[in-house]
């Protein structure tokens, strides 16, 4: 099972470009958001672990210094006992010194080892914090890019729909227009033909009436009789006079 530091190192060494590419392909920032959540969780755990290890470092340092101080004091006591000829006490003090020095070395080794671990955790924390800052910026930029991509896609879709509408039924519309223009041309031709015929008929009628008037005028001038309308009027007056005399 991976340790906390190994998990943190995995997050720190994550390829951001690859993550951004996958997020773009998925049209979502969920990949980066998940990364950020994982990094934040590990950062919290890393800070707790660093605090714990930092406390252990201080404890080991204190123990080491205590045993070193005790060892140094025993070493001086042994010198004094040897000079005083108290060899039994000197021997017992030497044995205690050996144990003290051994514990001193053990605490020193543990202190050095834990201090390195503590430094590694602190470095990992700094790197993870820096990576989090970077990935948050990448997330904002990616969200802006995705919004721009969606806007561009909507524009392209609208333009494509407009192209479809503009091109739809062009042939049918052209045929309908041609048919209407054909009917209009035909109606125009008929109108011109009938107008010409009517003009001819009116010219003929007006021409005949003028000739009749000219002939009647000529008859009156020659005394050849009254126009038909005057004859009919005269006959009507004669019948009226006859009816009056009989009565």
Domain edge (last residue) among 135, 168, 201 = 168
**Quick check: 58 pLDDT over 90?**
yes
Condensed to tens digits (0 to 9), the pLDDT of residues 204-230 reads 665 666 767 777 887 888 888 654 544
Tell me, yes or no, whether 39 and 150 share the same domain. yes
**Quick check: 97 pLDDT over 70?**
yes
Residue 157 vs residue 7, higher pLDDT: 157
User: Into how many domains does the chain fold?
Assistant: 2
**Quick check: 197 pLDDT over 50?**
yes
Tell me, yes or no, whether 132 and 78 share the same domain. yes
**What CATH number is attached to the domain comprising 114?**
1.10.287
How confident is the model at residue 230, as a pLDDT?
47
Tell me, yes or no, whether 146 and 239 share the same domain. no
Q: How far apart are CA 170 and CA 56, in angstroms?
A: 84
**Quick check: 238 pLDDT over 80?**
no
**Quick check: 1 pLDDT over 50?**
no
Condensed to tens digits (0 to 9), the pLDDT of residues 177-196 reads 787 777 877 777 777 776 67
Tell me, yes or no, whether 153 and 207 share the same domain. no
Tell me, yes or no, whether 82 and 182 share the same domain. no
Greatest mean pLDDT among 12-21, 92-101, 127-136, 143-152: 92-101
Q: Indicate whether 173 belongs to any domain.
A: no
* 14 phi, psi to nearest 5 deg: -60, 140
Tell me, yes or no, whether 87 and 39 share the same domain. yes
Arithmetic mean of pLDDT, 57-66: 94
Residue 9 vs residue 53, higher pLDDT: 53
Q: Indicate whether 64 belongs to any domain.
A: yes
Q: Indicate whether 164 belongs to any domain.
A: yes
**Quick check: 170 pLDDT over 50?**
yes
How confident is the model at residue 141, as a pLDDT?
78
The 3-state secondary structure of 186-225, one letter per residue: HHHHHHHHHHHHHHHHHHHHHHHHHHHHHHHHHHHHHCCC
Residue 218 vs residue 53, higher pLDDT: 53
Q: Indicate whether 126 belongs to any domain.
A: yes
Tell me, yes or no, whether 184 and 152 share the same domain. no
Domain that holds residue 235: 178-246
Q: How far apart are CA 86 and CA 94, in angstroms?
A: 12
How confident is the model at residue 76, as a pLDDT?
93
Q: What is the CA radius of gyration of the chain?
A: 63
pLDDT confidence bin for 78, thresholds 50/70/90: very high
Q: Indicate whether 143 belongs to any domain.
A: yes
Q: Which two tokens stand for residue 166?
A: 């503009």
Tell me, yes or no, whether 134 and 208 share the same domain. no
Residue 131 vs residue 20, higher pLDDT: 131
Greatest mean pLDDT among 17-26, 151-160, 230-239: 151-160
């Amino acid at each position: 099972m991976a340790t906390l530091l190994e998990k943190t190192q995995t997050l720190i060494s994550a390829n951001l470009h690859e993550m951004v590419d996958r997020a773009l392909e998925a049209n979502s920032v969920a990949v980066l958001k998940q990364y950020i959540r994982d990094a934040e969780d590990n950062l919290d755990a890393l800070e707790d672990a660093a605090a714990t290890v930092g406390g252990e470092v201080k404890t080991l340092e204190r123990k080491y210094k205590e045993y070193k101080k005790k060892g140094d004091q025993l070493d001086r006591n042994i010198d004094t006992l040897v000079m005083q000829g108290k060899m039994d006490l000197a021997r017992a003090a030497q044995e205690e010194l050996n144990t003290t020095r051994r514990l001193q070395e053990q605490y020193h080794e543990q202190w050095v080892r834990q201090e390195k671990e503590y430094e590694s955790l602190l470095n990992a924390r700094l790197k993870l914090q820096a990576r989090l800052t970077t990935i948050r910026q990448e997330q904002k930029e990616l969200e802006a890019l995705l919004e721009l991509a969606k806007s561009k896609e909507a524009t392209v879709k609208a333009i494509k729909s407009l192209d479809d509408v503009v091109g739809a039924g062009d042939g049918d519309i052209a045929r309908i227009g041609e048919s209407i223009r054909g009917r209009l041309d035909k109606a125009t031709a008929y109108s011109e033909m009938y107008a010409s015929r009517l003009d001819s008929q009116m010219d003929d009628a007006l021409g005949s009436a003028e000739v009749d008037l000219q002939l009647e005028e000529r008859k009156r001038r020659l005394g050849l009789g009254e126009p038909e309308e005057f004859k009919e009027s005269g006959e009507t007056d004669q019948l009226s006079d006859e009816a009056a005399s009989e009565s």
